[in-house]
Structure 1
């Protein structure tokens, strides 16, 4: 993955592809994101807290490809690329992938981490031959919508009611090449 350099290894931002060996850092980041922003994600925080090591390793094994932004020994944020549908019944076009679970720790927000994570996920999607990137964001999450729009994402007009809530998922799209230019 691409690395943004700093003056030394303690300040170097590195985008890391998560493997099974990273299951504890993946778990910790995921639990922190669900505790901090539970309404922003599809996951059930209580279910995530009950998972054991085997379940976390299985999540990392796929179909999602997980990336983490790291500086020194700290994991500052993450994103996942889903080059298949959310479920076997959710079939997507062969040139499409979904960006899911973008989250940056509050102390690291506004530093370009989201842009770096998105660019690296876009690079990975291009390597997989899936340049049509999509994501869903809650219609009340205006900070996230603003970020995506500043980076070139456009709302597709697709909206899906969120189960058990009075809000909607709004779909955004971008061609992966555009994220490499920002």
Structure 2
């Protein structure tokens, strides 16, 4: 693998935007993301600038990308920090500080070569290294129909917690929580 895994930089907001829009056009997007291409494409540049800046430094969020030698981004994952008592993406409140992985996307031509695992490794290393708050677990949600993603998450150590929430836009479907607890 020749890709470099690194955090995005604030000045890369246009690439952040373009990559997110590409992800939202993937066939799995309707069950993988909480927003649609139609909604994202209408967001002003200031939204994308703020998003890139917020995910490039600080301790509240970090976006990791896999960048090829040619500068093309092949994959991404975003880490959101949820302090104890803070409301999570789905409105739940955790009793422990946790990290929440979202926005996972790897271009189809880069799948199956270990890239997603390397993105997750970087994201989780960053989360575990935070001093304040000290992250006690890393979690993610996966749509009940997204068996490919769920299988990958279990393969790298995430386990179902038994917690689920209604899938946004389709109350008959569920988003299932998987997590990894801090060791020691």
Unpaired runs of 5+ residues, structure 2, are 55-59
In the alignment, what sits opposite 2:178? 172
* Higher helix content, 1 or 2: 1
Residues 99, 127 of structure 2: 8 Å contact kept: yes
Give the direction of change, closer, same or farther, for the CA distance of 1:47–1:146 in structure 2 (3 Å limit): same
Cα deviation per residue 1:48-107 (whole Å; 9 max; x = unaligned)? Answer: 1012221101112334311111111110010000002446x6543443110111110001
In the alignment, what sits opposite 1:106? 108
User: Runs of 4 or more off by more than 6 Å in structure 1?
Assistant: none
Give the direction of change, closer, same or farther, for the CA distance of 1:65–1:141 in structure 2 (3 Å limit): same
Taking the TM superposition and a 5 Å limit, the aligned residue runs for 1:74-93 are: 74-84=72-82, 85-86=87-88, 91-93=93-95
In the alignment, what sits opposite 2:118? 116
Per the normalisation by structure 1, the TM-score is 0.84
Q: Structure 2 CA distance, aligned partners of 1:105 and 1:66?
A: 16
Taking the TM superposition and a 5 Å limit, the aligned residue runs for 1:1-182 are: 12-36=2-26, 37-39=28-30, 40-62=32-54, 63-72=60-69, 73-84=71-82, 85-86=87-88, 91-128=93-130, 129-165=134-170, 166-175=172-181
| SS of equivalent residue, structure 1 residue 50 | coil
Number of equivalenced pairs: 167
Unpaired runs of 5+ residues, structure 1, are 1-5, 7-11, 178-182
